[in-house]
Homo-oligomer: A and B are copies of this chain.
């Protein structure tokens, strides 16, 4: 069953889906990573209703509320479900905490085969709160714009499950890859299966398009990225892209664009260190998404307009989804974000 097609037919604004599928668009769609976030006072007000981050993520009504806010307030062309990539490790049996101003922290980490054997392969039903949030959001959105579902890429989830927290180098996680390649593949396979189940559930619950975030791709060498990351991303794309379009965003994996383009993904997310023309050259058959420097939104209006225009010209109207090259920083002025969105929407092609 082609869920996306059915949903897309009903959408009032399906620019994002058309762009992702390589169909013609009248203008490029625009949304922003972390648009449902601290830049909005409305988000902070909703956030205050939950006693902590995990409870916030697990309350479908609150997740739905903050997912829709940027559509109403910023005028973006898509909603992305509010959640966290670490819900998968938790559903597999490895719970985490979100420490204020520090980030995620796991009391238990994976050290041995026994630890991996103990993990379960998550089913969509284990993440019922995400499915409820998606279904509720889909209903509340009333088909105004597409709803984006997402998951962390297996390597990035693996990195947190071994390291136990964020890290500049993820040297413990990489040490595991270098010293325990077989166990690494065993764990990555379990994460991959869980992620496929999870994303299929997201599509059933209402996601029109999916994005995989490989936030820590950049700490790997090219060879290790192919062996321990892209292999599993590719499996997920194969399982999901027949259902809905899939975007792969492997941050800082500048060397891998051509190989990502060989997967069955529909679009490729780019950070701001990637030249649009170079990316086009290596991935002629894919849609590109990105890639403004989030810090551009600190600049004055003139600079924001100039640089956004230059980016739009460099990528071209078709097969392009306008976004930042990373998530919005929390201290960015909401008015600057609105300006960025409007500049894209009003651009005269």
Contacts and interface: CB of A to CB of B under 8 A. Distances in A.
Contact of A221 (B218, B221, B293, B300): B293
Given A175-B295, A178-B296, A329 B273 contact: no
Contact of A179 (B220, B299, B329): B299
B255 A178 contact: no
Given A179-B300, A298-B179, A299-B178, A275 B293 contact: no
A123 interface: no
Question: How many copies of this chain sit in the oligomeric assembly?
Answer: 2
From A294, A295, A298, A303, name the one whose CB has the most chain B CB atoms within 10 angstroms: A295
Interface stretch (A143-151, A166-174, A234-242): A166-174
A177 B293 CA distance: 12
Interface residues of A, number: 32
A309 interface: no
A224 B303 CA distance: 13
A175 B294 CA distance: 10
Contacts of A190: none
Given A171-B329, A174-B293, A254-B255, A221 B273 contact: yes
A174 B295 contact: yes
Contacts of A329: 169, 171
A273 B218 contact: yes
Nearest to A329: B171
Interface in A289-312: 293-296, 298-300, 303
Contacts of A175: 295, 298
A252 interface: yes
Interface in A239-272: 252-255, 272
A84 interface: no
B171 A295 contact: yes
A281 to B, nearest CB: 14
Interface in A157-213: 168-169, 171, 174-175, 177-179
Contacts of A178: 295-296, 298-299, 303
A227 interface: no
B255 A275 contact: yes
A296 B252 CA distance: 20
A326 B168 CA distance: 12
Interface string A307-349: 0000000000000000000100101000000000000000000
A293 B175 CA distance: 11
Contacts of A274: 255
16 contacts: A169-B326, A171-B329, A171-B331, A174-B293, A174-B295, A174-B298, A175-B298, A177-B295, A178-B299, A178-B303, A179-B300, A218-B273, A221-B273, A221-B293, A254-B254, A254-B255
Given A171-B298, A218-B252, 7 more contacts: A171-B294, A174-B293, A178-B298, A179-B298, A218-B273, A221-B293, A253-B273
Cβ-closest 9 pairs across A and B: A174-B295, A175-B298, A178-B299, A221-B272, A254-B254, A178-B298, A221-B293, A171-B329, A171-B295
